[in-house]
Structure 1
């Protein structure tokens, strides 16, 4: 399985500047996770995904904290970096965490509204 296939539904983008990013059009993938805290204001939008990704990065990949950055919007989650290898490591780790219901729910329990 290729890297791009492995991280779906996240999309990997290489920019002319040399930086790379992963994006996710929000609203379908793992929406049930965000619904568990809807009463607190979580909607599953790009900002909520960003909050979840921050907790993941801090707890699971702290060495990448100053290398991988986030720029979410209402309808899209976006992570970016100038370090291609670091972004690929983050993307695979984050996708794997999302696929493990216990891990992603635990991480999300510590996410804060943006």
Structure 2
């Protein structure tokens, strides 16, 4: 089951939500020196878009908080694609470890 929810907030407007601290990889994130909050998950989304799904760039916006990740926009398909990418990372310790290690090697800094 995915920890992410895609909802229609008003006709034609969608939000992709993840409650921070509810994923299978939270303990690993902390072991890697990060806080599994909404800002950390925004970084995960940015990395996934830039490395695995460049076609999603600019198709939605981010609005995370400490306790929640949120991406929003009018393009439901793009948000669903992001949900699929993020869900794969949020449920797999090995993928998360590789993502964080690669991000660090490339100079990416998570804002957590």
Whether TM-score is above 0.5 comes out as yes
Relative CO higher for 1 or 2, CA cutoff 8 Å, sep ≥ 6? Answer: 2
Q: Is the 8 A contact 1:55 1:108 kept in 2?
A: no
Q: 1:28 to 1:94 in 2, by over 3 A?
A: closer
Q: Segments of 4+ in structure 1 off by > 3 A? A: none
Consecutive unaligned residues in structure 2, runs of 5 or more: none
Q: Is the 8 A contact 1:58 1:65 kept in 2?
A: yes
TM-score normalized by the length of structure 1: 0.80
Aligned to 1:3: none
Aligned to 2:82: 90
Q: Is the 8 A contact 2:17 2:68 kept in 1?
A: yes
Count, aligned residues: 105
Given the alignment of the two structures, is residue 54 of structure 1 paired with residue 49 of structure 2, yes or no? no
Cα distance per residue 1:56-95 (max 9 Å; x no partner): 1111111101113211101101111211111112211221
Consecutive unaligned residues in structure 1, runs of 5 or more: 1-5
Cα distance per residue 1:12-65 (max 9 Å; x no partner): 110215121111111131212311222xxx211111111111111111111101
Match of 1:11 among 5, 25, 31: 5
TM-score normalized by the length of structure 2: 0.81
